[in-house]
Amino acid sequence: MEIKFERYHLQSDFYSSLNGFQLVSVPTEVRIDPLTKRRSRIITWSLPTKGKFDFSQMVEESKGCIFCPENVLQKTPKFIKEIAPEGRISIGKAVGFPNLFPAGTYGSVVVLCEEHFLNLHQFTVQIYEEGFSVAIEIIRKTMNYDPNARFWQICQNFLLPGGSSILHPHLQVIGDPIPTNEMEYLIDACTSYSERKRSLYWSDLVQTEEKFGERYIATFGKVHWFVSFAPIGFNEICAVVEGHSSLTTLDQEEISSLARGIVSTLRYYYDKDLNSFNFAIYSISEEDSHQLLLRIISRTPIQPYYLNDWTSFEVLQSELTTNIYPEVLCREIRPYFS
């Protein structure tokens, strides 16, 4: 079943002070997400980059944190014995434990590596393979203890613009018996689509994107990578894992495929002078119409006189903006996935 894409072309005409007061026309595009019907606004201008930020002072002042190797097994909390009698879960260099400051029923942290700080091009596939393996082990053990906790996210907030006060690279793993807003939007829209079309939305979207090719990036095993038609954040890249709705059923090859796509995306972000990002994996058990989804977006880079990327458009109009055409982003990022 082919997915239909809707868009509006808007145009602003004025005499430009940058151009000898000649008449200029600046286009804007409003796109409607085919699943959620949410609108995204694609602006066609952006501020110039300020280059790469020097993190050396920030790293020096914050090193020896609670996640650094000399502290992580001494100062972090332990799981209750009913979930993980070993207290903490380690695979390779990744270490998982409960979040001291949780935001729900089951909140955990997975420290990704021994290094206190990594630039975006320094993250490796192995780092994410180990981190995801620990996160999935936490989810499996927690669901054995509490099967009602079927709504899970693995997410990463990297650096202050991404919402993290701790520099040391880490994931958050959060599970609840109720969905987040975004999970509920996804479930409702995918269920409604399945009932109307007798087909899975994400399978249809992947097939459509593959056919047109202009936003389709790559397939690694069962993991399909593409750029959203109507992004909800800057430089948004998505992945869908065929045949899975929950992280708990992934095998090692699928974990590696997710890790490889994230590292490819971060290398692209680094080359664009970006340094802060968020991603989320939406994992929902027992929802036949849902497929495991990952979204990664860049944030305004940390720099002197930091500029927040959420303006009144996003905060008060619920209308998300981005500053690159998804088709251009796709062309630029594709070589990083090869």
Residues that bind Zn ion (CB under 5 A): 65, 67-68, 116, 168
Nearer CB in complex with Zn ion: 106/158 = 158
The CB-of-124 to Zn ion minimum distance in angstroms stands at 18
Closest to Zn ion by CB, 40 or 76: 76
Least Å from the CB of residue 91 to Zn ion: 19
If the CB atoms of residues 167 and 292 are measured against Zn ion, the closer one turns out to be 167
CA distance 170 to 146: 25
Phi then psi for residue 84, to 5 deg, are -145, 95
Would you say 245 or 275 has its CB closer to Zn ion? Answer: 275
Of 67 and 269, nearer to Zn ion (C-beta) is 67
269-274 own/partner pairs: CB under 8 Å, 24+ apart: 269/120, 269/235, 269/298, 270/119, 270/120, 270/121, 271/121, 272/49, 272/235, 272/298, 273/49, 273/50, 273/51, 273/52, 273/301, 274/120, 274/235, 274/298, 274/299, 274/301
User: Residue 106 Cβ, how far from Zn ion at the closest point, in Å?
Assistant: 24
In whole angstroms, the minimum distance from the beta carbon of 61 to Zn ion comes to 12
CA–CA gap between residue 79 and residue 142 (Å, rounded): 10
- Residue 152 CB, shortest distance to Zn ion, in Å, is 26
Task: Yes or no: say if 134 and 140 are a contact pair by the CB < 8 Å rule.
Answer: no
125, 201, 217 from 205: Cα distances, Å: 27, 6, 13
Measured over all CA atoms, what is the biggest interatomic distance in the chain, rounded to whole angstroms?
72
Q: Which residues contact 89 (CB under 8 A, 6 or more apart)?
A: 79, 95, 96, 97, 134, 137, 138, 141
**What single-letter DSSP state applies at residue 312?**
H
Residue 66: CB minimum distance to Zn ion, A: 7
Q: Which is nearer to Zn ion, 43 or 66 (CB)?
A: 66
Least CB distance to Zn ion at residue 70 (A): 9
- Comparison of 131 and 326: residue with beta carbon closer to Zn ion: 131
